[in-house]
Amino acid sequence: MPVDIQTMLVATDFSKASAPATAYAFSLARALNARLYVIYVVPEDDVRMITAISRHLQSEVTPAALVETFYAEADKRLATLVQDACATALVPERLIVTGQPATAIISWAAAKQVQLIIIGIHGRHGGHTLHDGQCRRACAP
């Protein structure tokens, strides 16, 4: 039975563990001629930490400016991933969001009507982080 997947999402944290999943996602999207959303989730805990630390700085830098810098750097890294894979035509949008990673990935997959989520896993337990019956998931070691 042929698989008709037209919309996919790959989540990355820019780690070595996520690199094979990202490469696989670009390759699969190209083979299926599918749209591919690339998402990076800024963990809420990181934003809270930035906010807490900023109170102790003797600087004019605001927590919002630090978070904005974090987002800008993440966007540059996502753009580089897409460009290095020669996948600009496959990726309609790069997503950078704040939240709990598993929850944010599932939420954005639903919002974009994604049919397949691809994630890299850290060790043996990473694939258990996404629980949703609406979408297929593929975990790459």
Of 11-15, 17-21, 89-93, 119-123, the range with the lowest mean pLDDT is 119-123
Note the pLDDT of residue 127: 46
Which residue carries 């037209």 as its tokens?
A: 6
- Alpha-carbon distances of 108 from 36, 59, 95, 120, rounded to whole Å: 12, 35, 9, 17
Q: Which residues contact 84 (CB under 8 A, 6 or more apart)?
A: none
For residues 66-85, give the mean pLDDT: 93
Q: 133 with 26: CB under 8 angstroms?
A: no
For residues 58-86, give the mean pLDDT: 89
- pLDDT tens across 92-123, in order? 999 999 999 999 999 999 999 999 999 987 65
- pLDDT tens across 20-39, in order? 999 999 999 999 999 999 99
Q: 127 with 139: CB under 8 angstroms?
A: yes
Note the pLDDT of residue 122: 66
List, in sequence order, every beta strand (DSSP E) within the chain.
Answer: 7-11, 35-43, 94-99, 116-120, 136-140
Note the pLDDT of residue 128: 44
Q: What is the CATH number of domain 7-140?
A: 3.40.50.620
* This prediction's pTM: 0.81
Q: Are strands 116-120 and 7-11 parallel, antiparallel or unpaired?
A: parallel
- pLDDT tens across 124-141, in order? 444 444 544 444 545 444
Note the pLDDT of residue 73: 95
Note the pLDDT of residue 85: 93
Which residue carries 């690339």 as its tokens?
A: 38
- pLDDT tens across 46-61, in order? 888 887 887 777 777 7
Q: 80 with 69: CB under 8 angstroms?
A: no
